[in-house]
Amino acid sequence: MALAPFHLAIPVYDLKAARHFYGEVFGCPEGRSSDHWVDFDFFGHQLVIHESPKTDSQSHAQSNPVDGHDVPVPHFGVVLGWQDWEQLAQRLRERQTEFVIEPYVRFKGQVGEQATMFLFDPCGNALEFKAFKDLSQMFAK
């Protein structure tokens, strides 16, 4: 079965800054919009940023330890192809993006080995982008 695109709507308290971040920093094409929300083509998925007051998770990020790093919770993102992940990491570095967890390979030499990186958008929403050289390892134990 082919994967269907997901739809995700997230709160942003600074619509202009978030619009710049997803549109210019990530290069996501913009779809429909209003004065209070914007649709983006987020790597083939529909991401909608909605202007909203700051949430508790945007103000006070929680984390869980994973592979020696404090992973922000909650977070969202996309599993990309390895080369696409490398290109995104380079694009973000060129735009001097501040990472919560710098791009690196997690679980090296183990089941589920993956490239990953974490960052926050300008409104405190945490994002993770990852890639597997062997996609069949994504759910391996």
| Tokens 């210019």, located at residue | 24
34 plus 103 within the same structural domain: no
| Count of CB atoms situated within 10 Å of the CB of 130 | 17
Does residue 93 register a pLDDT over 90?
Answer: yes
Q: Which helix (H) or strand (E) holds 27?
A: none
Residue 67 shares a structural domain with residue 96: yes
Q: Of 53, 69, 86, which residue sits at a domain end?
A: 53
Q: How far apart are CA 139 and CA 141, in angstroms?
A: 7
71 and 120, same domain (yes or no)? yes
Q: Is the model's pLDDT at 60 over the cut of 90?
A: no
Please give the model's pTM, rounded to 2 decimal places. Answer: 0.92
Q: Between residues 39 and 134, which one has the greater pLDDT?
A: 39
- What tokens were used for 135? 């996609």
Q: Are residues 118 and 134 in the same domain?
A: yes
In tens, the pLDDT along 4-55 reads 999 999 999 999 999 999 999 999 999 999 999 999 999 999 999 999 999 9
Q: Tokens 């909605």 belong to which residue?
A: 50
* Enclosing domain of residue 40: 1-53
Q: Of 53, 69, 93, which residue constitutes the final position of a domain?
A: 53
Q: At 101, is the pLDDT very low, low, confident or very high (cuts 50, 70, 90)? A: very high
Same domain, 47 and 93: no
Residues 27, 68: one domain?
no
C-beta separation of 121 from 12 below 8 A: yes
Tally of domains in the chain: 2
In this structure, what are the phi and psi dihedrals at residue 51, rounded to the nearest 5 degrees?
-65, 130
Question: Is the Cβ–Cβ distance between 86 and 93 less than 8 Å?
Answer: no
